[in-house]
Amino acid sequence: MKKILLAVAVASLAACSTTSPDVIQRGDAQRMSQVQDATVLSVRPVTVEGNQSGIGATAGGVAGAVAGSSVGGHREAVVVGVLGAVAGAVVGNAVERASTREEAVEILLQLRNGERRAIVQAKGNETLNPGDAVILVTTGGKTRVTRAPAAAPAGSNAPVGTPVPPATKG
């Protein structure tokens, strides 16, 4: 019984994986990232297919085997246990795929140099629209798209976000 609970716990943790631009992997914290400016050309909803790591099938198979083996006498218990394991594995695999599926967006972008790129990421807190200025943040081979911060005027040494005084007539 402990093995079943452990397998179910591992499958549950595997379902917590995400591609959300609002969630940063622990290994990506405090790492320098490459940043590129771009403009959104289009955004469309997509679905990221769920995982089939085998954990769901294993957990379901073990649970089905244990449940089936408690039915009837010795011979019946073996047959029903095997059938329970097969049925449990099929159900466990389906549950794992469904629980790890994500609603996402495919964002078509144009970089400042004219090149175009497409990035798929989970829906985040920001809604991006065609024409929006965005930045691509690449860390460890993974890229996320987020709205670009306001930029300081050209030639200004002020940090981004610093209020710019109004121009004076001279």
Could you read off the pLDDT of 64-118 as tens digits, one per residue?
Answer: 667 666 676 667 766 767 777 777 777 776 666 666 677 888 999 999 999 999 9
The domain segmentation of the chain, as residue ranges, is 1-19+50-100, 32-48+102-149
Q: Which CATH class is domain 32-48+102-149?
A: mainly beta
> Each residue of 29-71: pLDDT tens digit?
767 788 999 999 999 998 887 666 666 667 766 776 676 666 7
Of the two residues 161 and 21, the one the predictor is more confident about is 21
Predicted confidence at residue 40, as pLDDT, reads 95
Predicted structure pTM score: 0.53
Residue 16 confidence (pLDDT) above 70:
no
Query: What's the Cα-to-Cα distance from 103 to each of 11, 58, 100, rounded to whole Å?
Result: 20, 26, 10
Cα separation, 56 vs 86, whole angstroms: 12
